[in-house]
Amino acid sequence: MARKSAETAVVVDGQSVKLTNQDKVLFPADGYTKGDLVAYYRAVAPAILPYLRDNPLTMERYPDGIDVARGIWEKQLPKYAPDWVNRATIAPSTGEPRKVTYVVCDDEATLVWVANLAAITLHIWYSRVTTIDVPDVILLDLDPGERCPLARLAKVALAFREELGNVGIVPVVKTTGGMGLHVIVPLEPRYDYDVAKAFAELAARRVHTVLPKDTTLERTIARRPDDVVYLDWVQVGKGKTYVAPFSVRARDGAPVSMPLAWADVEAMRRKRAPETTREMRRWSIANVPGLLAEHGDPWKNEGWTPHALEGALTKARSLW
């Protein structure tokens, strides 16, 4: 990616956005700079903004680079934020001592401003500002152990597709940007978090029943086998977040949490890789803009459709 000058300003969506220290290296092992991060988010803005829009944003910032210090998890809108940055003040969730005013990244100008803060990873709620008490996605986190083969992870993801399909649900899938996969159910925003979480648990327990030797529901890391997939269904909850589609992760290689086609997972199922990390790093800030330009958002091609749960729950009672 082209390097940016040390300090400049760009006009985006009619707003002047100041860019600072664009030559600052954020990924020392790869040489990617803050300018590269800004350029990436500008390139993928049409794809990522629909997932960020109207959504409380938590920024995972690394102003000194990913190897220098732990990231800054920033929920509260900085006092120095421009007036034109959209925001939403939300009443305390569990564990929050006070109201929090969040950035709401509705446009490219805000996305560029956020990237210039060295906000490498963008975390979003399961619900939107306008429907804050009802999630519009259910997420199942497939977390492989260090010795879990790639084919096993893919096998488990495909089992979710099959079992959810049996009850009328068409899920989508993305990489976490780390070792695993996220299976996501687009949801009509009319069910409370308890219902969404209960359905996530039901689906996870069903897949564990189908694949007991390939999966675990054990939450304590030390007790999990390191060659199977942990099915994490407890991520769903008000105030909890997940990594946004197309978000960069603060890891060597600057991997991206990439939406996939199910054909990509089927291809993983046929590979003999002894672990998963190398495969998940195939998608990074270096190639995702080009892939988007050539193929578009895989989830759009897969037919992203919000689901009702009543019919699925009825079928699950008889099939699961």
- pLDDT per position as a tens digit, 292-311: 999 999 999 888 999 999 99
Same domain, residue pair 75 and 175? no
Check pLDDT > 80 for residue 70.
Answer: no
Instruction: Tell whether 131 is covered by a domain.
Output: no
Determine the 3-state secondary structure of 95 from DSSP.
Answer: coil
Same domain, residue pair 93 and 242? no
Task: Residue 146: give the domain boundaries.
Answer: 137-319
The per-residue pLDDT for 68 is 78
User: Of 140, 124, 308, 147, which Cα lies nearest the Cα of 224?
Assistant: 147
Check pLDDT > 50 for residue 4.
Answer: no
Which range, of 10-24, 85-99, 102-116, 264-278, averages the lowest pLDDT?
Answer: 85-99
Same domain, residue pair 93 and 185? no
Same domain, residue pair 104 and 179? no
Instruction: Tell whether 239 is covered by a domain.
Output: yes
What CA–CA distance (Å, rounded) separates 61 from 37? 12
DSSP secondary structure code for residue 85 in this structure:
S
How confident is residue 6, by pLDDT bands cut at 50, 70 and 90? low
Same domain, residue pair 152 and 287? yes
Instruction: Tell whether 109 is covered by a domain.
Output: yes
- pLDDT > 90: what percent of the chain? 93
Same domain, residue pair 105 and 253? no
What are the residues facing 307 on neighbouring strands?
A: 187
Instruction: Tell whether 262 is covered by a domain.
Output: yes
- pLDDT > 70: what percent of the chain? 96
pLDDT tens digit sequence for 184-232: 999 999 999 999 999 999 999 999 999 999 999 999 999 999 999 999 9
Check pLDDT > 70 for residue 94.
Answer: no
Same domain, residue pair 42 and 153? no
How confident is residue 98, by pLDDT bands cut at 50, 70 and 90? confident
What CA–CA distance (Å, rounded) separates 206 from 320? 6
The per-residue pLDDT for 302 is 84
pLDDT tens digit sequence for 164-186: 999 999 999 999 999 999 999 99
Last residue of a domain, one of 125, 158, 173: 125
Using alpha carbons, list the distances in angstroms from residue 79 to 25, 103, 204: 25, 11, 41
Last residue of a domain, one of 99, 125, 151: 125
In 10 A of CB 87, how many CB atoms? 15
Last residue of a domain, one of 100, 125, 150: 125
Check pLDDT > 50 for residue 248.
Answer: yes
Whether the CB-CB separation of 284 and 255 falls below 8 Å is answered with: yes
Tokens linked to 56:
């409380």
Instruction: Tell whether 132 is covered by a domain.
Output: no
Check pLDDT > 50 for residue 2.
Answer: no
Same domain, residue pair 67 and 33? yes
- Mean confidence (pLDDT) of the chain: 95
Check pLDDT > 70 for residue 3.
Answer: no
The per-residue pLDDT for 92 is 72
Instruction: Tell whether 105 is covered by a domain.
Output: yes
Instruction: Tell whether 254 is covered by a domain.
Output: yes
Same domain, residue pair 233 and 207? yes
Instruction: Tell whether 35 is covered by a domain.
Output: yes
What average pLDDT does the segment 239-262 reach? 97
Same domain, residue pair 95 and 23? yes
What CA–CA distance (Å, rounded) separates 203 from 164? 7
The per-residue pLDDT for 293 is 96
CATH at 38 = 3.90.920.10
In 10 A of CB 280, how many CB atoms? 27
How confident is residue 275, by pLDDT bands cut at 50, 70 and 90? very high
- The domain tally of the chain equals 2
Same domain, residue pair 194 and 101? no
Same domain, residue pair 106 and 155? no
The per-residue pLDDT for 90 is 94
The per-residue pLDDT for 91 is 85
